[in-house]
Amino acid sequence: MATEPRVNPFAVAQSQFDRAAAKLNLKPDMRAILREPKRELIVHFPVEMRDGSLKTFTGYRVQHNLNRGPGKGGIRYSPDVTLDEVKALAMWMTWKCATVDIPFGGAKGGVICDPEALNDRELERLTRRYATEISAIIGPYIDIPAPDVNTGSREMAWIMDTYSMHNGYPIPGVITGKPIEIGGAVGRGSATADGVVICIEKAVEHLKMDIKGARVAVQGFGNAGQIAATLLHKMGAKIVAVSDTHGGIYSEAGFDPDSVLHYKQENAHEKRRGSVAGFPGTKDVSVANVLEVPCDILVPAAVENQITKRNAAHIQAKLIAEAANGPTTLEADDILFKRGITVIPDILANAGGVTVSYFEWVQ
Ligand code: NAD
C-alpha cells in the first residue's frame, strides 16, 4: 500500500490551515484557536470475544470546533486509526460543514480494530461499548456521529439504540446514516457519491471535457468509491480501474462496476471481505498503482495520504475528485497544481454525505 507512514495527517491539516490563514490574513489569536481541536477524548474499553476472553480496544472522539453548531463527523474502524488521524478528520469536517454552509461544527471518531477479524457479535459488542464510552460527549445538540470507513447503517443503529437505552427513550437525532426504518434519510447511502459526481459533472463542463467515454480510475470500492463508479458508468464514462484493500484491477476497455461489485460479494467469506482483485478480463494492479493508470478522471475514495510527492508526478488524470478525506498531501497538491491537473478538494467533493446527514438530523 502506498501510504507513507511518516506523513502525519494532522500535520498536513495544520499546514493546509496555515496556508489558508495566511491568505485570509487571520489574526494570530484566531489562528491559535482554529489550529487545535476543542476536545479530544481517548477511551479504552473491554469487549468480550467469541472464546469468552476480554480484549481491550482503544477509541477516540475528537471535536475540532462547535461554534457553527453541534459537532458532525463519521466513525472509522481500522487498524490504522490514530489520534492524529482523527484530529485531522475532525478539522476537515469543520471546514467542510462551513464550505457547504451547514450549521454543524467538525468532529470525528475512530476505533483501532481490524473489522475483518471480528464477527458480527463482536462488532456489535465493540460498537455498543464504544458508544457508551463516548456518550459523555455526544448528543443530538452536542455532537452527531455518522458512518465512515468500515462502518455503515448497521453500526449507526447500534449506536442510536445504545444511546437511547441509557436515556430511556428513542433519540434518533444522536446519529445520522441510520437505516430508513428507524429514521434514516432516503438517499443518505448514495449521498457522498452523488455529491462527488455532481462536482465532477461541473468540473468536466468547465474543463471542456466529455463525461461520455472519459476513462475513470477509482481507489477504494466502498460506500463512496463503488457508488461513484456505478453512477459515472451509467453516465457513459469508462471505468478502467478500481481497487480495495486487497488489490486492484485495470482494463483499457473498461468494465461494469456493478458486475465487479457482484464478483466482490461472491468471493467474500467468513474470514475475509470480498475483493475486486481477480475480476475476469482485467489485469491486477497494486492499490497504489491504481492512482497512476492511464485515465482522464481519478477518484481517490479510500483513505488519506495516498497522493504524495512520490507519485504526484506519475498521475495521468486531468481531473482528480477527492471522494476520500485528505487523500492528497500538501507537497503533492503543489506538484499537481504545477502540472495543470485540476483537483476538486475533499471538503467540497465529498460534502454530499454531510449535507444529507443534516437533512436526516432535521427530519
Ligand atoms: P468504506 O469502508 O465503505 O470503503 C472504503 C474502501 O477503501 C474499501 O474498498 C476499502 O477496501 C478501501 N480501503 C480502506 N482502507 C484502505 C487503505 N488503507 N488503502 C487502500 N484502500 C483502503 O468507506 P467509505 O465510507 O466509502 O469512505 C471512503 C473515504 O470517503 C474515506 O476517506 C471517508 O472519510 C470518505 N468519506 C466518506 C463519507 C461517507 O458518507 N461514507 C462521506 C465523506 C467522506
pLDDT confidence bin for 6, thresholds 50/70/90: low
Which of 149, 273, 307 is the best mutation target for the ligand 1 pocket, counting ligand atoms within 8 Å of the beta carbon and taking the most? 149
For residue 251, give the 3-state DSSP assignment: coil
**Set of cell numbers at residue 362:** 432535521
Q: What is the pLDDT of residue 271?
A: 60
Q: What is the pLDDT of residue 5?
A: 57
CA angle at 21 for the pair 19 and 27, rounded to the nearest 5°: 145
> Which of these, 239, 209, 236, 226, lies nearest to 319 by C-alpha position?
209
Q: Are 43 and 81 in contact (CB under 8 A)?
A: no
- Contact 355 CB / ligand 1 (< 6 Å): no
> Which of these, 254, 68, 72, 301, lies nearest to 176 by C-alpha position?
72
What digits encode the pLDDT tens for the residues 148-184? 999 999 999 999 999 999 999 999 999 999 999 999 9
State yes or no: pLDDT of 50 exceeds 50: yes
- Give residue 92 CA to ligand 1 midpoint distance, Å: 15
Interatomic CA distance for residues 10 and 17, integer angstroms: 10
What digits encode the pLDDT tens for the residues 320-348? 999 999 999 999 999 999 999 999 999 99
What digits encode the pLDDT tens for the residues 121-143? 999 999 999 999 999 999 999 99
- Give residue 110 CA to ligand 1 midpoint distance, Å: 13
What digits encode the pLDDT tens for the residues 51-106? 999 999 999 999 999 999 999 999 999 999 999 999 999 999 999 999 999 999 99
For residue 325, give the 3-state DSSP assignment: coil
**Set of cell numbers at residue 120:** 458480527
Phi, psi values for residue 314, rounded to 5°: -100, -5
- DSSP state for residue 228 in the 8-state scheme: H
Please give the model's pTM, rounded to 2 decimal places: 0.95
Point out the least confidently predicted range of 1-5, 314-318, 325-329: 1-5
State yes or no: pLDDT of 270 exceeds 70: no
**Set of cell numbers at residue 60:** 477516540
| Strand spans (E) along the chain | 39-48, 54-65, 71-78, 106-112, 143-147, 215-219, 238-244, 247-250, 283-285, 297-300, 319-321, 342-344
Burial of 131 per CB tally in 10 Å (0-12, 13-18, 19+): buried
- Give residue 86 CA to ligand 1 midpoint distance, Å: 14
Q: Are 330 and 357 in contact (CB under 8 A)?
A: no
Q: Is 108 an annotated catalytic residue? A: yes
User: What percent of the residues of the chain are helix, what percent strand, and what percent coil, each to the nearest 5?
Assistant: 40, 20, 35
State yes or no: pLDDT of 3 exceeds 60: no
- By percentage, how much of the chain surpasses pLDDT 90? 96
- Contact 136 CB / ligand 1 (< 6 Å): no
How far does the chain reach from its first CA to its final CA, in angstroms? 41
Residue bearing the CA closest to ligand 1, atom 43 = 350
Edge-to-edge strand ranges of the sheet holding 283-285:
283-285, 247-250, 238-244, 215-219, 297-300, 319-321, 342-344
